[in-house]
A and B are shown apart, each in its own frame.
Chain A
Amino acid sequence: MPESLVQLILYAATVLGAAAMVLLLPAPGKPGGTSWRPLGALLGAATLGGFWLLMSPLWLDRPRELEPYGDALTVTGLDPGAMAFYYVFSAIGIVSAVRVITHHRPVYAALWFVLVILSSAGLFLVLAAEFMALALVMIYGGAILVTYMFVIMLASQPQASDAPEDTPDFERYAREPLWASVAGFLLLAVLLTFIFDGDAVTRNVEAMAITNAEVAEQLLPNRAQIAAVDGGGDVITVDTAVGNVERVGLDLFMQNPLAIELAGVILLLSLIGAVVIAKTDVPDPGSDENDDPAVRAAVDPKPAPEAQA
């Protein structure tokens, strides 16, 4: 396919995606909202299909495969069946991400975000990054999202039902759906122009890590002996293959020891900061300290009802 046609389809799909996003984000006085959602979903699906059609190696002159390298393929390789998993996980992730930013209830947005996390963990598995997939599910799905759930429970007002009519305006309506979509998809068009440029990414051969066999030989020569001592006197067969967890661990602790210490300091600081923020005493809007009209006028340009009365 000629390069100009690729660019044309790319920009057409981007414009289509922006239109879909505007229809999916409700705003008062603009086309959007529940009745326009099916059309927006259709346009979004067309956008995704257009991009994926462009990416299929049928059209690319130089398909940039994830090539086999040493025994990396045998341990962490991509088999042809992974293609279907990529499309499934990617579609689930993108659709869930759209629901995160279009759902009118924060609780459901957080639940859709869990689905985004699970599908990107699936993508990590396709990329043979098992440790990162597990860490993502545990840290994001387990810890961070539970924190979000607690805060949503702490900081939300009771409402009659889940229906959009019963939710407050600031949750039902987006602020500037048109300009937000234009800005976002402009960025996406620029990014995808570089992604689809054939020679943009050449493989950095110098940066390649040594193979798993070399790691087992040079860095971990005594693995089998340690395992045998642990097993007691009996002769046991121990799997000494070097996997993703070993490789990430070696890279983490051999290349970045200072960064780990800094990460620990950052976590401690955020812990202390969160405690300090949580203990801060906040005057209630209806309490005595805030009833001074001068203070009110300085804080809030709208005159308070008590001051008028």
Chain B
Amino acid sequence: MELPILTNLTLAHFLFTGAVLFTLGLIGFISRRNLIVMFLCTELMFQGVCVTLVAFSRYHLNFSGQTFVIFVLTIAAAEAALALGLVVLLFRRKHTLDALAWASMKG
């Protein structure tokens, strides 16, 4: 007799992994002070969303979820190009990656 724990892979498993990845990305984005690592954390949130989308795609046997991941990757690539360009610009201005160096911008 096989244990059900070893044979049943449920949708909840993948949703859990996606939710944890998204949460860790959110915590990192709030608490880290390095600009590059903050953008890395947004990519972590993208990863969590991608896992969730593909899991739902498999669960409903509908390929639109996987198609949407392609567009998520497109936006992630565009965001990385623009955000990293801005980070280099900010670094050239103040010679530090500390997000608190730009605290004077808050209202």
C-alpha spacing A207/B60, complex, angstroms: 7
Q: Would A116 and B21 count as touching, CB distance under 8 A?
A: yes
Total A-B residue contacts, Cβ distance less than 8 Å:
296
Evaluate contact between B40 and A110: CB separation under 8 angstroms.
yes
The minimal Cβ–Cβ distance linking A242 to chain B, given in whole angstroms, is 11
CA distance A201 to B14 in the complex (A): 13
Chain B residues within an 8 Å CB radius of A143: 77
Q: What chain B residues lie within 8 Å of A280 (beta carbons)?
A: 89
Q: How far is the CA of A94 from the CA of B59 in the complex (A)?
A: 22
* Given A170-B97, A174-B33, A256 and B43 contact (CB-CB distance below 8 Å): no
Q: Count B interface residues, CB 8 Å.
A: 83
B-contact bits for A157-191, CB 8 A (1 contact / 0 none): 10000000000101101111101110111011001
Interface residues on chain A, size class: 35 or more
> Smallest distance from the beta carbon of A32 to chain B beta carbons, Å?
11
Contact of B58 among A128, A248, A252 (CB under 8 A): A128
Bound Cα distance A255, B70 (Å): 13
**A171 — which chain B residues lie within 8 A by C-beta?**
33-34, 37, 97
Residue from the list B8, B16, B81 in contact with A192, Cβ < 8 A? B16
* Among candidates A57, A176, A248, A266, residue contacting B31 with C-beta atoms closer than 8 Å: A176
Q: Which of A86, A139, A255, A269 contacts B13 (CB 8 A)?
A: A86
Contact status B27-A94, CB under 8 Å: no
Asked whether, in the complex, the Cβ of B28 is within 8 Å of the Cβ of A100, the reply is yes
A282, CB-defined interface residue at 8 Å: yes
User: Complex Cα distance A175/B89, Å?
Assistant: 23
Distance (whole angstroms) from the CB of A209 to the closest CB of chain B: 5
Instruction: Tell me which residues from 257 to 286 in chain A have a Cβ below 8 Å from any Cβ of chain B.
Output: 259, 263, 266-267, 269-271, 273-274, 277-278, 280, 282-285
- For the complex of A and B, 8 pairs with smallest distance between CB atoms: A101-B28, A270-B78, A180-B31, A170-B98, A184-B27, A155-B91, A277-B85, A180-B30
Please list 15 pairs of residues, one from A and one from B, whose beta carbons are closer than 8 Å in the complex, sorted by A's number: A86-B9, A94-B24, A106-B36, A106-B40, A129-B54, A144-B76, A151-B87, A154-B88, A170-B100, A176-B31, A184-B24, A187-B23, A209-B62, A248-B70, A267-B78
Given A204-B62, A285-B95, 14 new contacts (CB under 8 A): A55-B10, A66-B9, A80-B7, A90-B13, A93-B47, A100-B24, A101-B28, A135-B70, A179-B30, A196-B12, A208-B60, A252-B67, A274-B85, A282-B92
- Chain B residues at the A interface, C-beta cutoff of 8 Å: 2-17, 19-28, 30-34, 36-37, 39-41, 43-44, 47, 50-51, 54-55, 57-64, 66-67, 69-71, 73-82, 84-89, 91-100, 104
